[in-house]
Structure 1
Amino acid sequence: MTSSVRTIANHAWSRRNFSAAMLAFLAMPQYVRAQQPEPRIAALDWAWAETLLALGARPYAIAEAELYRERVVTPELPHDVIDLGLRSWPNMELLKSLQPDLILTQAGYGVQAATLEQIAPTLALPLFTPERRPLQLAEAGLDAIAAQLQREKHAFQYKADFEQTLSEIRASLHSYDGRPVLIVKFADQRILDIYGPGSLFHDVLGRLGLENAWTEAGNHWGFSTSGLDAVARNPEARLVIIEPGPPEKLVGSDLWTAIPSVKANRVVTIPPTWVFGALPSALRFAMILGKALQPA
């Protein structure tokens, strides 16, 4: 666990007795435990919600549940999870009325942990920081959540499976032509978000042995917002577009067909993948990209 994760976790949990309650729950005989309600966990951040699901646990409530199902997709969110409203500013009255046992949130985003702690024990974990190593912090966050829920074995197995899958994908790309990839998502008809160093996708590319054509650091989340000229400035790259693809009007234009990667038919489109996610989103992106880059 990084020092930043440890500091935040210790601060939150030194004031609460959630861990003691969890230990007492786990110490119960299995037949008794089965009759006890699971801890009510409210996840205000999708990265930690998907991490919770990856550990075999489930959120009692989550912010923007329907959008999670559309943009994060997997791990699948149960349909009876309560929707708390916006991730940036959830319905605080509803959150309080649910009497959660634990609140998961991302440090530095949305409601401050100090405010949330007035409602319930809060674990505020960093993901996108000046360190610009989201994949590393995603793993640290998995460990931190697993430790608090007494699910360390689940975390160990998930990380082992994660590493094995990435290794297999990397091996499957041995026949790839080695071109750097340019990962983009359309913000509107002619403006794109391009993912570079500091983004989750950039870290995944490195683990797969692929080169990122975009070297600019970009914003806090590791992406730059630019026009189509940025794509044209990388004529040797393979263009990877995260759905939805380019607008129909653009596809039929001379501007689009003049882009070198488009002209050379070096464009692949992949399904939606959550760009601000943790290990499950990183795994989904790696699996989808690995399949998309396989020779036709």
Structure 2
Amino acid sequence: MPSSAKHALTRRQFVAASLPVLLMGNAAFASQQGPRLAVLDWAWAETVLALGAEPYAVAEAPLYNERVVSPALPATTIDLGLRSWPNMELLKSLHPGLIITQAGYGVPESRLETIAPTMALPLFTEDRTPLALAESGMSAIAERLDRKAEGDAYIARFDEALSKMRDTLAGDDGRPVLIVKFAGERLVDIYGRGSLFDDVLQRLGLENAWQEVGNRWGFSTAGLDAIARHRDARLVIIEPGPPPSLAQSRLWNTIPSVGAGRVFTIPPTWVFGGLPSALRFGRILTEALTPA
């Protein structure tokens, strides 16, 4: 064997080694310059971090790092309470220079405006284009924080990263993908059109096996029979996987994709996220589907 062959990378190793470089944004250089930010939505909190800024306060901050994972919130971030209904007295007492929230969710913009200037940005709407709205939201926040160059650079890196992932998956077996998350012992949320995950699948050139119209966030809650109907699909499960009692049952193992060994389990990814979550999902999915 030639010496150079000993150092050749497998496709999976190449993906794992190269994508973290592409995912590096300006968060490592975060500073507290600009207005004191109170962010009530995690998609926009991760967006602020990706731009190299630090939110002063975030709703449900203790859970953010567990659910969103990356980019991580600083330990000093103040917790504002529930995302759907934050502690308004605390919010007011912090004297934020800017409040960022998701339009149509939680406290109305008009009420937040009585505390501080507010950006209420849409993400999940009837148009069902969350990825496009995540990008326009990043651009809007970047402009407001005087970080337009950072926003443009992040979007360019995002596009480049997804393009490389698509190239990596070009030799893929072509089977459609079914993205699910367990909602109960025998109930799953299945992600289709209008979900952030479906938008990423399209960018990666992957077919989504689930074509039914779901809720406003793009997913449907269904029983295991819904998975079984898609006999040729590759099943991608967002952790945690099936309960042990189900995983060991005959019912689970007779599902065609399970019986054929076409099951891929991936780490938690924020399903209601912005560009950073979309990028994380794309990276994790590409690594899972790329042969070792």
Normalising by structure 1, we get a TM-score of: 0.87
Counterpart of 1:75 (choices 71, 75, 95) is 71
Q: Distance in 2 between matches of 1:37 and 1:182?
A: 43
Q: Does 1:161 align with 2:157?
A: yes
Q: Distance in 2 between matches of 1:237 and 1:65?
A: 37
Superposition pairs for residues 261-276 of structure 1, below 5 Å? 261-276=257-272
Q: Does 1:116 align with 2:102?
A: no
- Match for 2:268: what amino acid? P
Q: Distance in 2 between matches of 1:180 and 1:81?
A: 41
CA offset at residue 176 of structure 1? Answer: 1.2
Asked if structure 1 preserves the Cα contact closer than 8 Å seen for 2:165 and 2:286, the reply is: yes
CA-based RMSD: 1.1
For residues 76-122 of structure 1, give each alpha carbon's deviation from its aligned partner in whole angstroms, at most 9, with x where no partner exists: 11100000010001001100000000000000000000000000000
Q: Does 1:280 align with 2:276?
A: yes
Indicate the residue corresponding to 1:84 in structure 2: 80
Asked if structure 1 preserves the Cα contact closer than 8 Å seen for 2:269 and 2:277, the reply is: yes
Q: Does 1:215 align with 2:211?
A: yes
Q: What fraction of aligned residue pairs are identical, expressed as a percent? A: 68
Asked if structure 1 preserves the Cα contact closer than 8 Å seen for 2:34 and 2:145, the reply is: no
Indicate the residue corresponding to 1:5 in structure 2: none
Counterpart of 1:251 (choices 247, 257, 269) is 247
Q: Does 1:41 align with 2:37?
A: yes
Q: Does 1:101 align with 2:97?
A: yes
CA offset at residue 217 of structure 1? Answer: 1.3
Indicate the residue corresponding to 1:193 in structure 2: 189
Q: Which consecutive aligned stretches of 4+ in structure 1 deviate over 2 angstroms post-superposition? A: none
Question: Match of 1:138, SS?
Answer: helix
CA offset at residue 255 of structure 1? Answer: 0.5
Gaps of at least 5 residues in structure 1 are 1-33
Gaps of at least 5 residues in structure 2 are 1-30
CA offset at residue 175 of structure 1? Answer: 2.1
Asked if structure 1 preserves the Cα contact closer than 8 Å seen for 2:65 and 2:72, the reply is: yes
Aligned pair count reads 262
Q: Distance in 2 between matches of 1:165 and 1:38?
A: 29
- Match for 1:129: what amino acid? T
Counterpart of 1:229 (choices 204, 225, 234) is 225
Normalising by structure 2, we get a TM-score of: 0.88
Q: Distance in 1 between matches of 2:89 and 2:261?
A: 52
